[in-house]
Amino acid sequence: MKKTSTLLADGRELIYYDLRDDTVRDAVDRRPLDRTITTSEVRRDVLLGDSVAIASHRQGRTYHPPADECPLCPTRGERLSEIPDSSYDVVVFENRFPSLAGDSGRCEVVCFTSDHDASFADLTGEQARLVLDAWTDRTSELSHLPSVEQVFCFENRGEEIGVTLGHPHGQIYAYPFTTPRTALMLRSLAAHKEATGGENLFDAIVEQELAGERVVLEGEHWLAFVPYAAHWPYEVHLYPRRRVPDLLALDEAARTEFPQIYLELLRRFDRIFGEGESPTPYIAAWHQAPFGALEEFDGVTRDDFALHLELFTIRRTSGKLKFLAGSESGMSVFINDVPPERAAERLREVASS
C-alpha cells in the first residue's frame, strides 16, 4: 500500500491509498473554494448522560446530486470534484460538512472505489483489503489527536438509510468521548468479569454462538453470526476468532482472510429478499475499544474489549422497512419481527455462487 497525503483547495486533508507503490499523486484541486467554516458543538445531556452534536452547517450539504455531478467521482477534465486526480483506488478526506470538528473531533469520508456504479460487495479481495488497511491507518492516525477518544469506521448504504450520495463510500467519526453504545458494552463487560471471577463476556458470547444455530459463516480467523437478541430484522456480527481491541491489533492472517469473509457476507445480504428487489440497504459498523481512560468501568482494560463489525438492514421483508417508532425511539426497546434463528437460516440459504 502506498499512502499519499495532500490538501484540497480549502485546506482540508485528502489521502490517497494505492495498490501500486509507483503511483504518483500530484494533481491539484483547481476549485475556487473558501476555507471551510464549521459550527460543530457537542452538548452534554445531563438527564440521559449522553452527548449530542449540534452542527447547523450540515443543512447545506450536497443532497442527491445527479451522477454526472457526484463529488466523490474522480475529477475528469473540467468536471471538478472532491478528488483532484482522474482515478483512484481508495481515498480518504476530511468531510466538508462534518458533524464533529476541531475540539469536538473529526469526520472523514472514505471512498472505496472510483467506480460510481459499484458497491463494496463488487470490490475484489485486493481492493477490500486496501479499504481495511485504510481504516486501520486512519484509526491509528486519529487516535493520536488530543481531542479524540474513540474512532468509529462505518458505511451507510442505500437511500432508505439516509445516504445522500450514491457513490460507494463510508465514513469515519473520531469522537471526543466514549459513545453511549460502547459505554453500555463496557459496563456489561465489567459486571460479567466481576460476577464470574474474570471471564470475558465477549469470549463467552462467541463460544455460545459457536455451539448454537445462528452461525452464518465460519473462517479460520473470522466468525459471523446472528446474535441471540438481534435488534434488527437481519443483523450479523462479525468477530475475529482471536480477540483484539481494535483494527490495529489484527494479525496478518486475519487481515488476509477478512476480504473473503466480508465480501461473501455482503453478497448474501443482497440476496436475502430475492431477485428484482433493489440492493439491500444496510449499515456496517466497526466497534473498537476507546483510546481514552476506562477508569469508570471497574476492572476493564482495552484488551478486554473485542473488535467486531455489526452489519444490519432496516428492510424487514420485500418492500417493507423496519421503522424505529414509539417503543424504539421513545423508550429504546426494540421489537424485532424476524426471529434471529430464521434470519441466520435465510443467510445460510442465500450463499453466493
For position 39, what pLDDT does the model report? 78
The dihedral over CA atoms of 312, 287, 165, 323, expressed in degrees to the nearest 10, equals: 40
Q: Among 101, 174, 188, which Cα is nearest to 138's? A: 174
Residue 98 pLDDT > 70: yes
- Band (pLDDT 50/70/90 cuts) for residue 65 is confident
Identify the weakest region by mean pLDDT among 65-74, 169-178, 238-247.
65-74
For position 278, what pLDDT does the model report? 86
Q: Is 169 a catalytic residue?
A: yes
* Mean pLDDT value across residues 220-233: 98
Gap between the Cα atoms of 335 and 329, Å rounded: 11
Residue 224 pLDDT > 70: yes
Instruction: Please state the pTM of the whole predicted model.
Output: 0.96
**Residues 187 and 300: beta-carbon distance below 8 Å:** no
The DSSP string of 181-245 is: HHHHHHHHHHHHHHHTTS--HHHHHHHHHHTSS-EEEE-SSEEEE--TT-SSSEEEEEEESS--S
* Distance set, CA 261 to CA 221, 235, 309 (Å): 9, 15, 12
For position 133, what pLDDT does the model report? 98
Active-site residue, selected from the candidate residues 64, 144, 167, 169: 169
Residues 232-291 have pLDDT tens digits of 999 999 999 999 999 999 999 999 999 999 999 999 999 999 877 889 999 999 999 999
For position 244, what pLDDT does the model report? 98
For position 25, what pLDDT does the model report? 97
Residue 352 pLDDT > 70: no
What is the percent of the chain with per-residue pLDDT over 70, rounded to a whole number?
99
For position 293, what pLDDT does the model report? 83
**Residues 130 and 90: beta-carbon distance below 8 Å:** yes
The SS3 of residue 89 is coil
**Residues 152 and 173: beta-carbon distance below 8 Å:** yes
- Band (pLDDT 50/70/90 cuts) for residue 184 is very high
Gap between the Cα atoms of 73 and 107, Å rounded: 19
* Mean pLDDT value across residues 287-305: 93
* Mean pLDDT value across residues 76-89: 96
Helices in the chain by DSSP H: which ranges?
A: 125-143, 180-195, 201-210, 252-269, 331, 340-349
Q: Which three cell numbers stand for residue 14?
A: 485528502
Q: Among 14, 13, 107, which Cα is nearest to 53's? A: 107
Angle formed by the axes of helices 180-195 and 201-210, nearest 10°: 90
What is the percent of the chain with per-residue pLDDT over 90, rounded to a whole number?
89
Gap between the Cα atoms of 156 and 171, Å rounded: 8
- Band (pLDDT 50/70/90 cuts) for residue 37 is confident
The SS3 of residue 165 is coil
* Mean pLDDT value across residues 29-35: 91
* Distance set, CA 16 to CA 3, 185, 191, 212, 214 (Å): 6, 34, 43, 43, 39
DSSP-derived letter for residue 180 is H
Which residues, other chains included, contact 7 with Cβ-Cβ below 8 Å and sequence gap of 6+? 13, 14, 29
Residue 150 pLDDT > 90: yes
Gap between the Cα atoms of 315 and 312, Å rounded: 9
For position 168, what pLDDT does the model report? 97
* Mean pLDDT value across residues 128-143: 98
Mean pLDDT of the chain: 95
* Mean pLDDT value across residues 90-110: 95
According to the 3-state scheme, what is the secondary structure of 209-220? HHCCCCEEEECC
Q: Which three cell numbers stand for residue 231?
A: 435488534
Place of cell 444496510: 282
Residue 59 pLDDT > 80: no
- Band (pLDDT 50/70/90 cuts) for residue 64 is confident
- Band (pLDDT 50/70/90 cuts) for residue 63 is low
